């Protein structure tokens, strides 16, 4: 039986979205304007279609102006760049998100770099990456998954992050690196581990906070977790589940949950942990971008 506190990402994400809905309504009554989010989807990848639909629904539920631009898979790079340019210049749009991956013939970084940094609600533009790394997160737009992971940590640990040993397993630009920057800004002592890290179990055993963003099902074992540590599992992996019937599958994280929960003080489940926070933070970023572009103070 798990002893750890289970961090309820679903409930926390709902409360964040509720707060954003209230703040968007206040913005509308004060200015007559809604935060505007535009999502560009190129091609028909089924998983991307689901993600885009969920983002669109969440934005509408928060009372945002939400537009979805679906472009054919064989769209030229120029056509996609043209769409970004159009949205950059659209005063009703405050957040632009290009659903990744893009088809192979389109240069992803060229497209992401064209998005105005002020509208870059995914936080992938080099300007936003630079601001975050320079310790200026309050002027940046921060990638949604690490931002959401930090909210979970703060709601669990309160103001006690300072001085804690944090190990981030994974060094991707989307999760691992920005997560490490955020934890550093919270004055954690941060280690970034990756596929070349030696004696990974021992590295993780030194951590008060473990963030796993690896993409390998249940790789982080229970006996890697220091007693009482806080574990945030970013991984989403689909594995076969023959016990549910032939051809069935289930989602697991990068952490062996049952084992880890025997050691951890608190742990996020998969699903229902970090996943719901990602979309909630996209809503936060869109409202933040809208208020900044309107010249309004951010946190009202
Ligand atoms: P990437 O594949 O881009 O990065 C994986 C990282 O893990 C790399 O840095 C890699 O190291 C490291 N790694 C791989 N194998 C090992 C190993 N055996 N030991 C130690 N480190 C290893 O993945 P992402 O960062 O994009 O995503 C990570 C996970 O998070 C995935 O499961 C993904 O589905 C999930 N995810 C969840 C989101 C959510 O909303 N909850 C959003 C985004 C991602 P190296 O650099 O050396 O190759």
Q: Which two tokens stand for residue 179?
A: 């997560």
Domains and CATH numbers, the chain: 31-116 (3.40.50.10860), 143-275 (3.40.50.720)
Give the tens place of pLDDT for each residue, 245-287: 999 999 999 999 999 999 999 999 999 999 999 999 999 999 9
> Each residue of 181-203: pLDDT tens digit?
999 999 999 999 999 999 999 99
pLDDT digits over 102-124, tens only? 999 999 999 999 999 999 999 99
- The DSSP code for 105 is T
Which residue is closest in CA terms to ligand 1's atom 3? 172
Query: Distance between alpha carbon 259 and the CA centroid of its chain, in Å?
Result: 25
The predicted pLDDT at position 200 comes to 98
With a cut of 70, say whether residue 2 has pLDDT above it: no
Which residue in the list 56, 122, 233, 254 is annotated as catalytic?
A: 122
The verdict on the CB of residue 200 being under 6 Å from ligand 1 is yes
Tell me the per-residue pLDDT of 66-82, one tens digit each, with 9 for 90 and over. Answer: 999 999 999 999 999 99
Binding-site residue positions for NADP(+): 170-172, 236
Q: What pLDDT is stored for residue 1 in this prediction? A: 56
Q: Is residue 58 a contact partner of residue 17, using CB atoms and an 8 Å limit? A: yes
Going by alpha carbons, the residue nearest to atom 4 of ligand 1 is: 172
Q: Name the active-site residue from 56, 99, 164, 177.
A: 99
Determine if residue 49 is left, alpha or beta; phi over 0 gives left, psi from -120 to 50 gives alpha, anything else beta.
alpha
Beta strands in 85-188 (DSSP E): 95-98, 165-169
Annotated binding site: 170-172, 236
Q: Which listed residue (55, 119, 164, 177) is catalytic?
A: 55
Largest CA-CA distance found in the chain, in angstroms, rounded: 57
Are 141 and 121 spatial neighbours (Cβ–Cβ below 8 Å)?
A: yes
139 alpha carbon to ligand 1 midpoint, in Å? Answer: 27
For residues 32-39, average pLDDT:
98
In sequence order, the 6+-apart residues with CB closer than 8 A to the CB of 41 are 48, 49, 52, 68, 69, 70, 71, 99
What is the distance in A from the centroid of ligand 1 to the CA of 229?
21
Distance 82 CA to ligand 1 centre (A): 31
236 lines ligand 1 (CB under 6 A): yes
Residue 10 CB burial class (10 angstroms; 0-12, 13-18, ≥19): middle
d(CA 23, CA 73): 37
The helix (H) or strand (E) run that includes residue 210 is: strand 209-212
How far is the centre of ligand 1, averaged over its atoms, from the C-alpha of 161 (Å)? 23
Determine the Cα–Cα distance for residues 281 and 59; give it in Å rounded to an integer.
11
Which two structure tokens, joined as six digits, stand for 178?
């920005």
Name the residue at shortest CA distance from atom 8 of ligand 1: 170
Q: Output the pLDDT for position 276.
A: 96
């Amino acid at each position: 039986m798990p002893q750890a506190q289970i961090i309820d990402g679903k409930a926390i994400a709902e409360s964040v979205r509720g707060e954003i809905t209230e703040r968007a309504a206040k913005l509308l009554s004060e200015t007559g304007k809604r935060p505007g989010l535009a999502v560009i989807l190129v091609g028909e990848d089924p998983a991307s279609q689901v993600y885009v639909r969920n983002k669109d629904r969440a934005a509408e539920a928060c009372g945002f102006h939400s537009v979805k631009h679906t472009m054919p898979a064989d769209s030229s790079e120029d056509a996609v760049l043209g769409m970004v340019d159009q949205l950059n210049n659209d005063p009703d749009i405050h957040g632009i998100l290009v659903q990744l991956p893009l088809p192979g013939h389109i240069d992803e970084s060229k497209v992401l770099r064209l998005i105005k940094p002020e509208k870059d609600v995914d936080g992938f533009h080099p300007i936003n990456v630079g601001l975050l790394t320079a310790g200026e997160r309050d002027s940046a737009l921060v990638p949604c998954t690490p931002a959401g992971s930090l909210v979970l940590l703060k709601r669990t640990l309160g103001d006690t992050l300072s001085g804690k040993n944090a190990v981030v397993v994974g060094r991707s630009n989307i999760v691992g690196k920005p997560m490490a920057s955020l934890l550093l800004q919270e004055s954690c002592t941060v280690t970034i581990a990756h596929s070349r890290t030696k004696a990974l179990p021992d590295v993780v055993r030194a951590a008060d906070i473990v963030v796993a963003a690896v993409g390998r099902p249940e790789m982080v074992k229970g006996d890697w977790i220091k007693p009482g540590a806080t574990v945030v599992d970013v991984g989403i992996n689909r594995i076969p589940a023959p016990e549910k019937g032939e051809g069935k599958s289930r989602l697991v994280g990068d952490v062996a949950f049952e084992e880890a929960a025997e050691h951890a003080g608190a742990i996020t489940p998969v699903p229902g942990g970090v996943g719901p926070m990602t979309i909630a933070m996209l809503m936060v970023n869109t409202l933040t971008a809208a208020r900044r572009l309107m010249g309004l103070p951010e946190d009202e």
